[in-house]
Structure 1
Amino acid sequence: MNSRILDYTALVVTVIGAVNWGLIGFFRFNLVTFLFGDMTWISRIIYALVGICGLYLLSLFGRVSSFSDDTERL
């Protein structure tokens, strides 16, 4: 699987999770609970996917810094 596709997919899922947290913080409105119910199996899967994507994106820091190091050497 192309790493770039996985990066963008993880980024989209993480941004959606961040929007949900923003809604919770500003308006006390949980979109996932509204759409899928309070801690149903599907809402738990959504929360788990957002967490996994966030952890995966931590690897982006290492890849971005190594990419910038390579371009400086050219």
Structure 2
Amino acid sequence: MSGIQRTALVLAIIGAINWGLIGFFRFDLVAFIFNGQASIISRLIYALIGLSGLYAISILMKPKEELGRDHEVEPQR
């Protein structure tokens, strides 16, 4: 898995955790850390997490063989 794929998955996981906190406890961690949902930094974080979620869809649709190519060892002849 490439670095950009790992980054997208990490951001998507952070977004999922934040949504879980909102759903269970009505607590928005991103807004808490960056002084509200309307701040520029919060909106940037939300946008990056949204784009990461969209990119994660492409990771989900890739065949298993393509995902494992980064760590494959060439067979010896």
TM-score by length of 2: 0.77
Match of 1:41 in 2: 40
Number of matched residues?
Answer: 65
Higher relative contact order (CA 8 A, sep 6+): 2
Report the Cα distance in structure 2 between the residues aligned to 1:58 and 1:11, rounded to whole angstroms.
10
Match of 2:23 in 1: 25
Runs of 4+ more than 2 Å apart: none
Report the Cα distance in structure 2 between the residues aligned to 1:12 and 1:56, rounded to whole angstroms.
12
Point out where structure 2 has 5 or more consecutive residues left out of the alignment: 67-77
Point out where structure 1 has 5 or more consecutive residues left out of the alignment: 69-74
RMSD: 1.6
Report the Cα distance in structure 2 between the residues aligned to 1:63 and 1:18, rounded to whole angstroms.
21
TM-score by length of 1: 0.80
Structure index of larger Rg: 2
Secondary structure of the structure 2 residue equivalent to 1:44: helix
Match of 2:61 in 1: 62
Q: Which amino acid aligns with 1:47?
A: Y
Q: Which amino acid aligns with 1:37?
A: N
Q: Which has the higher helix share?
A: 1
